[in-house]
Structure formats: C-alpha cells, structure tokens
Chains A and B, each alone.
Chain A
Amino acid sequence: MALYWLPLLPLIGFLLLIVGGRWFSGTSGGWLGSGFIGAAFVVALVRFFGLSDVPAHETLWTWLPNMALGTGGVSANLNVGFYLDQLSSVMTLVITGVGFLIHVYSISYMREDARFTRFFALLNFFVAMMLILVLADSYPLMFVGWEGVGMASYLLIGFWFAGHKDHNAADGVNNSNAARKAFIMNRIGDLGFMLGMFLIYKVFGTLVIPELAGQEGTLAVTSRPLIELICLFLLVGAVGKSGQLPLTTWLPDAMAGPTPVSALIHAATMVTAGVYLIARSNFFYDLAPGASMWVAWAGGLTALYGALSALNQTDIKKILAYSTVSQLGYMFLAVGLHSYTAAIFHLVTHAFFKALLFLAAGAVIHALHEEQDVRKMGGLAKSMPFTHIVSLIGVLAISGIPIFAGFFSKDGILASAFAQNIPLYLIGLFVAFLTAFYMGRWYFLVWRGEYRGDTKLHPHDGDAVLSAPLGILAALATVGGFLNVPSFLGGGHVLDNFLGRAIPVHEHEILASTEWLATLIAVAVALAGLGWAFYEHRRRALQVGPLGQFSFQALYLDRLYTAVVGNGSKVISRGLDTVDNGVDGAMNGIVSNVGAPGWLVTIWQSGFVRAYALSMLLGTALIVGYWALKAIGGGL
C-alpha cells in the first residue's frame, strides 16, 4: 500500500460525507467514516510491519516552486511527498488507532445531532490532515497538515456554532468565539513556523526534511545563532499548536466542541503536533542547546501552569483540558531535553489515557444530559459502573501509579530531567503531585460521594458502541506503558530502540539505584496527591479546590490577553480605519485644495468685458514688460 492511501482514505470519507451528506441516513455516515479510519489504521499497520531501517519516501507531484534542492545549484520544485520512518509510523498508528476508537464512540455519542454526518466528515478530514502532518516529507507539506488540523479543529470546536439545537444564543457565541480563538492563536504560532521555514530555506536552500537531515556537513558548519533562531521560530509554531505558554489559552476554551473532538484533537493527537515537530526537527535542536532550553522551560512552566489552573476548575472537561496543557508541558520538557523518545512515549500513553478520560467524561455528560459541572455530579460509580472503572484506570494512569501507562512514560521524562536539569525536575515532580491531586479531585467529585445533581435524571452506562472504545482504551492505558519499560525495571526499552532507528536517543548515565530512588519519589508524590484529594473528599471540601479564583481563572492569563491583545488590536483596527478615512480624506483634501482655485477662476470670470480687457492687456504688458526688462538688464 502506498503511503498516500493513509491520508487519502479519510479524505475520501470526508468528501463522500460532506458532498453527499443527505445520502446517508441514520448512523450509516458514522459507520462509513469510521470504516475509512479503520482502513487507514490497517494501512498504517501494514506499513508499520513493513518498516525497515531505510525510511520510506514516496513523492507524488510538483507543488511549490524552488523550495527543494536540485542538481547543479539550481533549486528544484518541491514535491508533495510522504515519508515514513519509525517516528511517523508510531504517530500514524496512534492517530488512526485512537482516531478509529473515537469515531466509533462518536457514532453513539453524536447520534442525536442534526448534523451527524457532517460531524464525521469533519472528523475524517481532521484525521487526514493529521496524517499528512506526520507523514510529510517537507516542512511546507507538514504545514498543510498543521493548518489543516487547525482548520478541522476550528470547525469542530465550532461544531455547535449556534448553541444547543441551533437555538442557544449565548452558547453559540461562546462556541464560535472559542473556535475562532483557537484558529487565531494557532495562526500566531504558524507565523513562527513559517518564519522558521523561511530561515531554513535561506540557510539550506531546501525545505525537504530528509534533505535537511542529510546535510550533516552543512549543518555542522552553519553558524550556531542561525540554528538557534531556526529552532526558536519552530518553537513558536510548536507552542501555538500544542497550547504551551504563552499561546495556551485557546486550548481550555476548545472544550466547547463535542467531547469526542476534545478527546481526539485536543488531547490525543493534534495538540501533540508541536512535540512531533520538535522531535522531527531533532537534527536542528540537537545543535541548538539554547533553543532547546527554551523548549524545556516552556514545557516545564506550562506543565506547572496547567496543573495550577486545573486545581479549581468545575467543568468536567476543563479539568481534563488543563491537565492536557500540563501533560503537553511534560512532553515539551522532554523534547527540550533532547529526550525525544521519552516525549513520544508519553505522547502515546497520553493519547491512550487522555482519550479515555475524555470519552469517559463524555459518557458522563451524555448520561447527565449535557451537565458538565462536577459540583452537580457525584456518586456516579453506582449507576455507571463500567465507565467508573475505565475512568479510574485513566486517573491512575495519568497520576503515574505503577503498572499503568503514565507511570512509565512520566518516569522517563522525570528521569531525563533529573539527569540534566534539577530545577525542571523539581517542577516536574511538583506538577506530578498536583496532577495526582486534581485528577483525584476529578475522580472523587464525579464518581464518589453523593449525587448532587438533578434527581430526575437516571444516569446509566452507554451502549456497546459507546463502551467498546472505552474498554479498549482502558486496556491500552493499562498496558501501554510496557511498550517501553526502562532497563532498571528489567525492560528492554522497546520503543526507545524502535524509535532510535529514526531519531537519536541520548542515553543518560544514571545509576540504577538513583533511578530507583527517583521512581520511588515520583510514585510517592503521586500517591500523596491522590491521598490529599481523598482527604479533602472525606472532608467534603473538594468542590472548592485550592487557589480559588486564581486557579479558576487560569492565572488570569486569558483575561490579560483579552484586555491587552484582543482589545488592543480592536482599538488599533478602529484607529487604522480612522487613519484610512484620513488617508482618503487627505487625498480628497489635496484634490479639493488643488481644485479650490477653481472658484477664483469663476470669480475672475466676472462678466464685465472691461475686466476681461484688463486681463488681456495686463497680460500683454506683463509679457512684453518682462522681456523688455530682461533685455535692458542683460540683453538677450
């Protein structure tokens, strides 16, 4: 199977569903859409097993002018081409695999929606774009996927652009605003990405990733500041897409979309694109310690920011959203420390457990008829036992409790931080503690205690279509960690070794005992966090989390942006509009001032014939007199 089948299958699905929306009645559109993703998953699997040490590189057709290396110093046109190595292969598996599960889940979840088929069309579109992103052999093509997923994300966040059943004005505005915000903030990052590409082109004359990676000689002699700058530019792009500081505020708002969207796009796949970009550009970042440190610190601080903001959220999805921000921070921390494989590992496990948590949250929301406030939940473990179990697995996984997936992946990141940068390690550790706490809070508020909501509702587990994906994801969140068991735990670094064939693995020489110690500390911290949550639960004080409004308002960052950037740009825009009227007016003014003497002409034209004669004779006298004077003065 050629690589282009991977994005093409979902694209076909998209086209079918968007053009022929009315041909598909009931849930058939959903099944069709899911089928295409499933097929893509099969292709991904086939290609995964067909991988060798030589990456697959398949080019299709000419696309952009002059952006690749040609022979003889003349630049060649850039082709659309796909590139599959271990890194992208893992990504395709995650995208199609998790994507397929979420598609199936959505069939049940979105069943009642008036625009059911369109939803699947957009989901398919998203998957296609995401696959292009990870399979691209050049930065511009990656950018296609990059902005494509942004576009899909925009459309899906704004899927309920007119509110519930098209009749909720306030919701409509909120959802639409959230979508728009996501797109615009992504665009800010995208500009950074573009500038990065421009600089890469300026330095290396190509934007094809294998060509760049193959230029070790040139890379080695390129001046460091340039490479640092390239990496910083790319970082801006990555930050935008992955919701890192400072471009983070769109991500929590993005939860306005339907829950499967949150699971697929804003947790499992799209937001990890930034991590993928940096991992993909490892050949630059390895040469740019300064920029890498920026990456790591952006990640570390975002992890902290997300965790702090999650502490006192009341929306069941918002907690998960801030948790996502925080977890993405971990991944950035890892790539910043050049632990690409650790980051990808966490990316994979995070995809499992975060998708699981979101889908579980979705099931709850569904069961409670669109209720999202955790303060109005509680005690659902009894009525929704299956969902409860999978949620618990998710919580344990994300908190880093051993044997669950998150334990291994987070441990890897903390270990590399421990080896390289103690302040970041401490931040990571603190975030792990906070994570355990807020996830514990989430768990206890939703599942334990007394039911605090509308008593007329009778929540129950979802149907099989809804539950099957949850089960599979729960299984993956449980065992996913074993993909990459570190050696001190007796594992073989399977994923590291696999990825190591494509991206560099920097071994950290840490004593096994130290590593044991670090791991134990991490587990202890996680248990402490959960314990604190449990303690507060018993005190029935969980409904109001720590830090109060400071946390609830997400450190006031969003308000700051709205006040400064949002209003600022509006003011400037109006100002410029006025200026433009001024330009127009100035031009008109010039014209009318030039034209003003026209009045004088009409006044001059007084109608008195003797005045006319005066002009004539005076004119004659002036002309002759001037020349006479000149002749007297100096001769002709």
Chain B
Amino acid sequence: MNTPLILPDVALAPLLPIAITLLGAIAATLLGFFLPRRAITLISMVSLVLSGVSMVTLWNGGLTSFGGSLQADNVALSIGLIILLGSLMTLLVTYDSAARAKLAFPEFDAMLMYAVTGTLLIAFSGDLVTMLIGLEVMSLSGYVIATLQDSRRAEEAGMKYFLLGAVGSAILIYGIALVYGATGTLSYVGIRDATAGLQVQNVGLLVVGALLLLCGFGFKVALAPFHQWTPDVYGGAPTSVGLFLSTVVKVAAFAGMLRVFGGAMQNVPAWAGVLQVLIVATIVVGNLGALFQTNFKRLMAYSAVAHTGFLALALLGNPATGGPALTYYLLVYTLMTAGTLAVVSALQRTEAAFTLDDMRGLFYRHPAYAVALAVCLGSLAGLPPFAGFMGKYLAFQAAFQAGYVGLTIIAAMGSVAALIYYLRPAMLMFMPDRTPAREYPGERTPTTAAVVIGVVGVTVLGILPNLAYGLVANPAIWTVLAGR
C-alpha cells in the first residue's frame, strides 16, 4: 500500500445544514438538564430554521464533500427543506401538545432532532454507507420517540416498530452487502457506472441485492407487504409522533429510494417490475384498509400507506419527470398530512382515539378547524384547487409517460376509494349535530400555526404550483441523482 496519504475532501459548507441540526440535537440533549422543555423546543426550531437558511444559501451550489459521499445538490436541498418543514410543523405541534401527550421531556426534542439529522443525512447521501448511517440514526431515534410516551399503547407501538424496523434494516444491509459484492463499490456513482450497460460480472447478485434494498426501503416507506407496522405505530404512538413518522421519516426514506433507485440503480433490471407489483399491492391494501377504519388516526395511517403507493408511482417515472414529481408530491404530502394531524392534535382529548364519530358536526363547534381539516382532507383526496391534486397529477403523469399506463389506471381507481374514506369524515364535520363539544378546550396557538402552515401551503401550492414546482422542475438536476 504505497498510496500517498490523501487528505480527505472535507468541505464543511455542504455539511452545514446537517451539522446545524446535529448541534441543535446536542444542545437539546445537554441543555435539557437546565432549561424548561419549551425553551428546548424553541432552540430546536431555531436550529431548524438556521439549517434551512444554510440550505437556501447552498442552493444551486452543487457542492460535495467527502469525495462525493455527501452531496448538497438541489435534490438534497429541496428534500432537505421539506424535511425541515415537516420537522418544524412537528415541533410546533409538540410545543403545546407534548404536555398533554405526556411527552414533555427534553429527550423528546433531542431524539427528534437526531432523527432530523439522520433524515438529512439520507437526503444528502452520496453512497450507501452514508445513507445507511442516516437511515439508522433516523430509525433508532424514531423507535425512541415512538416509545417515549409512558403508555401501553405507545410501548406496544414502539416495540413493534423497533422489532420490525430492525428486521427491515437487516434486510437492507444485506442488500447493501450484495450490491457491494456485485459492483465492488458503495458509492452511488460507482454503482451507476459499474452497472451501466450491465457489465457487472454477477448480475444475479446485483439483482438480488437491489431487490433486498427495495424490500428494506419498502419497509421504511411502508410499501405493502412491508407496511404492516404503519397502522399500529401511527395509530398507537402519540399524534405528534405519528405526524413526524408519517411525514419526515417517509420523506427521508423516499429520498433514499430516489437516490438509490433513481440514481445509482437506474440501469439495474428487475426492481422496477417488482416495484410495480408492490405499488399495486400498496394502493389496494392502503385504500381498502382505510375504508374500514373508524379511528381517524388509524385511517390516516392507512392513508399514509396508500399515499406511499402514489408516491412510489413517481419513482417509477424517468428521473427527469419522476424526480420533480416525487419532490413536489412529498412537499404537498407533508403539508397536508401534517396539517391534518395537527388539527387532530389540537382537538383530541386523549391520544387513544379520535374517531369519526367525534368529528360529526365539528364545523358547528370549531368552524375554522373543520374547514382547515376539510381542506387538508380534500387535498389528500386529490381534489383541486388544493395541492394534493397537483401531486397526484404529477405522479400519474410521471408513471404514464414512463409507459406504466395500466398502473396509472389502477392508481386512479385507488384514488376513488381514497376519496370515499376522506370524504366521509370531511362531510361528517359539516353535518349538523347538537351534542356538546368534546374537544380539548385549552390554548393551542402553536399547533394552530402548524395547521395554518399546512392549509395555506396546500391552498397556495394548489393554485400556484409553480412556486414550488418551478424550483425543482429543471430536469438537469434529476439526471445526476447519483452524483457526478
């Protein structure tokens, strides 16, 4: 080994957004002993905002670090911003609901911030190891916050999440190992180059590795049949945790999938075919399962599963159309899911159940919340003028243009089923009802702020989609997902 020692390419600038959130996490961990919990939350929020600012300054920079292991390209930045947005909304919701949810430990904020750090790492990743680290940091923190509430439900949820997550991680790691075996590299660019034209010696190994990766990611984003943890965890964990898991974590996992499958593995056969089957299964299972739910939180969990199917649809498309579609949809999905769950969080009296029956006549008790919830649900159902429509449309278009016509039609039919279960609660709210208010009566301004962000977001982005889509529409940034 006579290779001269080469100093690692450590550019700090691209690291900045992640470092800031990490600092926030550490601060939360340490200061938790001295400051009240709300102060910690504020500090976390500030660090999120700062991280966001740093991302904005990095925009169009295309910087990389660690020899390409970390890349702050526009893909990473746009997804990173979505993650920050989701996290911010989570923090806003927890700011006043955490106490009610028996979650008001500084550790909660700390773990949340660690998770955010992990998610950002996934988005910024340039090789499989970085991605894996991010994924594990995110998952491990996720297990903790899912369990943190001192209740049997949360514990059960956490346990399930943890055990299944560990299995999923194991599958994923094994997949990484096989891909490494087939290509001899762990970096996205390397894999992409090695697989170009399928010159790899052991295609079988590569395909199996890719499929195992798909299964591992399938768990993280909740594709059927790897989705089964979702309803139990989202439904069992506190609402704010469910909010975080179903938005930020899912966004990050999709970012990983985008990097790995849209970038590194774009030439590898087989995974697209399998993904198609999984998407169909996901759409069917998610939508049908949701039809039979009476607990609104579980309903939203199944809805998250169903949306996974729609989101993955964009992944099937060519990266040039699928990438921006996925990003836009992720943003919208984050806004509307977070908005919905924020309303739930604001109104629920207990964490256990917010049933459809509770929603009857909500409009006459809390008109603003009801309208906000209706907007979010309408958006989830894909009704214009709300942004959910644009997301769905983009996903359909991406899949359609990649030739998956049949799949698009199935997805469209799934949307019809989706409409039914979104519509039922949405319309129940407007049906006159004379029972007295059952909602939590206290102060909840920050949660309301999160709701406002969600509602305004889906409305504005629905009417003027170009505000967000225009930023990511440039196909050039999506053809080099793996890095240069």
A and B touch in the complex (CB under 8 A): yes
A binding-site residues for B, Cβ under 8 Å? 594-595, 597-599, 601-602, 604-605, 607, 609, 611-613, 615-620, 623-624, 627-628, 631, 636
Closest-by-CB residue of A relative to B215 is A620
Contact A636 B292 (CB under 8 A): no
In the complex, B291 has a CB within 8 A of chain A: yes
In the complex with contacts A598-B292, A601-B289, A613-B164, A607-B232 CB distance below 8 A: yes
Closest-by-CB residue of A relative to B277 is A623
- List B77-130 residues whose CB lies under 8 Å from chain A: none
In the complex with contacts A612-B228, A619-B226, A624-B208, A601-B292 CB distance below 8 A: yes
Interface of A is mostly: helix
Highest count of chain B CB atoms <10 Å: which of A597, A615, A623 = A623
In the complex, B31 has a CB within 8 A of chain A: no
Query: What residues of A have a CB within 8 angstroms of the CB of B270 in the complex?
Result: 627, 636
Contact A595 B225 (CB under 8 A): no
> CA separation between A615 and B278, bound complex, in Å?
13
Highest count of chain B CB atoms <10 Å: which of A595, A597, A620 = A620
Contact B208 A619 (CB under 8 A): no
> CA separation between A615 and B232, bound complex, in Å?
15
Closest-by-CB residue of A relative to B226 is A616
> CA separation between A627 and B219, bound complex, in Å?
20
CB distance from B418 to the nearest CB of A (A): 12
Contact A623 B284 (CB under 8 A): no
Closest A-B pairs by Cβ, 5 of them: A598-B288, A601-B289, A612-B228, A619-B225, A620-B215
- List B281-298 residues whose CB lies under 8 Å from chain A: 284-285, 288-289, 291-292
In the complex, B384 has a CB within 8 A of chain A: no
CB distance from B206 to the nearest CB of A (A): 9
CB distance from A612 to the nearest CB of B (A): 4
Contact A613 B291 (CB under 8 A): no
In the complex with contacts A616-B228, A627-B270, A636-B203 CB distance below 8 A: yes
Task: Pick 28 A–B contacts, CB within 8 A, sort by A.
Answer: A594-B417, A595-B288, A595-B291, A595-B417, A597-B284, A598-B288, A598-B291, A601-B285, A601-B292, A605-B228, A607-B232, A609-B164, A612-B160, A615-B228, A616-B164, A616-B167, A616-B171, A617-B167, A620-B171, A620-B212, A623-B211, A623-B215, A624-B211, A624-B215, A627-B208, A628-B208, A631-B203, A636-B270
Contact A613 B167 (CB under 8 A): yes
CB distance from A589 to the nearest CB of B (A): 15
In the complex with contacts A616-B164, A616-B168, A631-B204 CB distance below 8 A: yes
Closest-by-CB residue of A relative to B229 is A612
Write the B198-238 contact mask toward A (1 if CB under 8 angstroms, else 0).
00000110011001101100110000011011011000000
CB distance from A558 to the nearest CB of B (A): 52
Query: What residues of B have a CB within 8 angstroms of the CB of A607 in the complex?
Result: 232
- Find B207's partner among A597, A602, A636 (CB 8 Å cutoff): A636
Highest count of chain A CB atoms <10 Å: which of B163, B168, B211, B219 = B211
Query: What residues of B have a CB within 8 angstroms of the CB of A631 in the complex?
Result: 203-204, 207
Query: What residues of B have a CB within 8 angstroms of the CB of A604 in the complex?
Result: 228
Contact B292 A599 (CB under 8 A): yes
In the complex with contacts A601-B285, A615-B228, A617-B167, A627-B159 CB distance below 8 A: no
In the complex, B446 has a CB within 8 A of chain A: no
CB distance from A331 to the nearest CB of B (A): 63
CB distance from A494 to the nearest CB of B (A): 77
Closest-by-CB residue of B relative to A612 is B228
Write the B161-198 contact mask toward A (1 if CB under 8 angstroms, else 0).
00110011001000000000000000000000000000
Give the size of the chain B interface in residues (CB under 8 angstroms).
Answer: 33
Closest-by-CB residue of B relative to A615 is B225
Contact A601 B288 (CB under 8 A): yes
Q: With contacts defined as CB atoms under 8 Å apart, how many contacts are there between chain A and chain B in the complex?
A: 80
- Find B219's partner among A605, A611, A616 (CB 8 Å cutoff): A616
CB distance from B358 to the nearest CB of A (A): 20
> CA separation between A561 and B122, bound complex, in Å?
82
Query: What residues of A have a CB within 8 angstroms of the CB of B465 in the complex?
Result: none
Contact B212 A624 (CB under 8 A): yes
Closest-by-CB residue of B relative to A598 is B288
> CA separation between A609 and B292, bound complex, in Å?
21
Known: A612-B164, A615-B228. 7 other contacts (CB 8 A): A598-B292, A604-B228, A609-B160, A624-B208, A627-B207, A627-B208, A627-B274
In the complex, B269 has a CB within 8 A of chain A: yes
Query: What residues of B have a CB within 8 angstroms of the CB of A597 in the complex?
Result: 284, 288
Query: What residues of A have a CB within 8 angstroms of the CB of B219 in the complex?
Result: 616
Query: What residues of B have a CB within 8 angstroms of the CB of A618 in the complex?
Result: 225
> CA separation between A628 and B207, bound complex, in Å?
9
- List B240-288 residues whose CB lies under 8 Å from chain A: 269-270, 274, 284-285, 288
Query: What residues of A have a CB within 8 angstroms of the CB of B284 in the complex?
Result: 597
CB distance from A424 to the nearest CB of B (A): 67
> CA separation between A628 and B212, bound complex, in Å?
12
Query: What residues of A have a CB within 8 angstroms of the CB of B168 in the complex?
Result: 616
> CA separation between A618 and B164, bound complex, in Å?
13
CB distance from B146 to the nearest CB of A (A): 13
Contact A636 B274 (CB under 8 A): no
Contact A616 B163 (CB under 8 A): no
Closest-by-CB residue of B relative to A592 is B291
Query: What residues of B have a CB within 8 angstroms of the CB of A601 in the complex?
Result: 285, 288-289, 292
Contact A602 B228 (CB under 8 A): no
